[in-house]
Amino acid sequence: MKNDDSGKVILVTGASSGIGALSVRALARAGHTVYAGIRRTTTRNATAVAGLTRYGTDHQADVHAVELDVTSQDSVDAAVDRIFAERGRLDVVVHNAGHMVLGAAEAFTTEQFADVYDVNVLGTQRVNRAALPKLREQGSGLLVWIGSSSSRGGCPPFLAPYFAAKAAMDAVAVSYAAEVLPFGIDTAIVVPGAFTTGTRHFANAGAPADTDRAELYDRRHRPLMDDLGKRLAVLVPSDADVAEVAEAVARLVAMEQGTRPLRTHIDPSRDGSEVVSAVADRPRPRRLLPPHRTGQPAHRRQLPVTPH
């Protein structure tokens, strides 16, 4: 479906695969112009770019790959500048770029912790600093943050750097929500559960650099480490589809300004994050957030999600 006058111009970061790639396609099907932020478009991710191009041709979708590395401010600035040069506006930013690591917390160096924060937290700040001046000038916009139920739900071991970074990103998103609202900019946090299929989080996860310490933990926890993905999969219904996260993003974009819920949980395993968020979000200052967005879980009424 081609973009029309009602379509929005959207940037999705981390769009080479998984939730990012699915979101690009779901948004394009809804009639939007979508820029897929992908790093190393001519080398490592050239296949992903080719697949996106084919999708656009086959479905007459207005999709475009744009070189974007969230760890580089120059790269982010260039991507946003290109979108404005080509379209004259930017309506929605989907913060999806992220990196997972898997292993004993002690075995990760401080530099590795910092690298995970750089992608998952500082990356969103770089994108915001590039995009928000233009959104503020427009007087409208939407920031969609792809979070994780691990921020407040059940947290299995051996994912500490990733979980810590996702929790930090969530805190940043909540603070931004109140700060950008007076400029006409909405915030929506999408909270996926532990989908074990449909993404390459575990396959692409980084490992601890301190192999000696990692081995000490492996001796005690090897059965748990080897079966972590399988153990998580047992908690997820067999019909769980990570594409539901992308569809939730598309529904949020379609909603009227000022009516979007602060959080939308897509968690087939029901790990408790939704319950904790309902309590944690309740004290949000009513003078900063509209009343309908402070009393969670209002999102259940505003954005129904089919339960598993």
Which member of 35, 117, 162, 176 is catalytic?
A: 162
Residues 194 and 161: beta-carbon distance below 8 Å: no
Query: Hey, what amino acid is at 139?
Result: G
Rounded to an integer, what distance in angstroms lies between the CA atom of residue 252 and that of residue 72? 28
Q: What pTM did the predictor assign?
A: 0.85
pLDDT of residue 244: 94
pLDDT in tens, the chain (308 residues): 444 447 999 999 999 999 999 999 999 999 999 999 999 999 999 999 999 999 999 999 999 999 999 999 999 999 999 999 999 999 999 999 999 999 999 999 999 999 999 999 999 999 999 999 999 999 999 999 999 988 776 667 888 999 999 999 999 999 999 999 999 999 999 999 876 654 555 557 889 999 999 999 988 887 766 666 566 555 555 666 889 999 999 999 999 998 999 999 988 766 677 777 887 887 765 544 454 444 443 333 333 333 33
Q: How far is CA 304 from the centre of its chain?
A: 20
Rounded to an integer, what distance in angstroms lies between the CA atom of residue 178 and that of residue 28? 29
pLDDT of residue 292: 46
Residues 186 and 257: beta-carbon distance below 8 Å: yes
Decide if 217 is catalytic: no
